[in-house]
């Protein structure tokens, strides 16, 4: 009888350790943000790089690009990337979306400062039950085209 009591106690303590581990894994890596929303530390999230676009010249070939990623995820290529752009892009410059890359290329026909915002949404190809995932982000950029 004493042996069965020890075995039951051992199993209960194992279960408590497992529950404690899961609880700590979830809540120690998370915190409340200023709006009292749960925010995870080291969470997987869509990311656009900070980038200083090259200065271009009117009627001369222009080419530059940015490459999106997924922070804290070793398999960035296991996501579908969807981009949207709002703002001004110089006439003559085309925007090409190719997987994780947004390319700007062409022959600009107007000078000025062109401000735009890129929005990124990611979708995992192999969905998992991740607790802390930020599927969307955005960043503002500026492109300068000078006259000859």
Per-residue model confidence as pLDDT tens digits over 85-119: 999 999 999 999 999 999 999 999 999 999 999 99
pLDDT bucket at 126, cuts 50 / 70 / 90: confident
User: What CA–CA distance (Å, rounded) separates 41 from 131?
Assistant: 11
SS3 73: coil
- Strand partners for 105: 63, 94
Q: What's the pTM value of the predicted model, to 2 decimals?
A: 0.70
- Distances from the Cα of 87 to the Cαs of 13, 27, 142, in angstroms? 59, 39, 10
Q: Which two tokens stand for residue 49?
A: 């790089």
């Amino acid at each position: 009888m004493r042996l069965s009591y020890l075995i039951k106690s051992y199993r209960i303590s194992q279960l408590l350790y497992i529950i404690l581990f899961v609880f700590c894994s979830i809540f120690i890596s998370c915190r409340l943000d200023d709006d009292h929303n749960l925010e995870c530390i080291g969470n997987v999230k869509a990311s656009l790089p900070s980038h200083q676009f090259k200065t271009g010249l009117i009627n001369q070939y222009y080419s530059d690009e940015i490459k999106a990623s997924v922070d804290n995820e070793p398999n960035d290529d296991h996501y579908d990337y969807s981009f949207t752009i709002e703002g001004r892009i110089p006439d003559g410059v085309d925007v090409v979306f190719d997987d994780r890359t947004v390319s700007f290329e062409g022959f600009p026909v107007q000078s000025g400062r062109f401000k735009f915002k890129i929005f990124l949404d990611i979708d995992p190809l192999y969905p998992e039950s991740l607790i802390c995932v930020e599927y969307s982000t955005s960043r503002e950029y500026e492109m300068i085209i000078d006259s000859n």
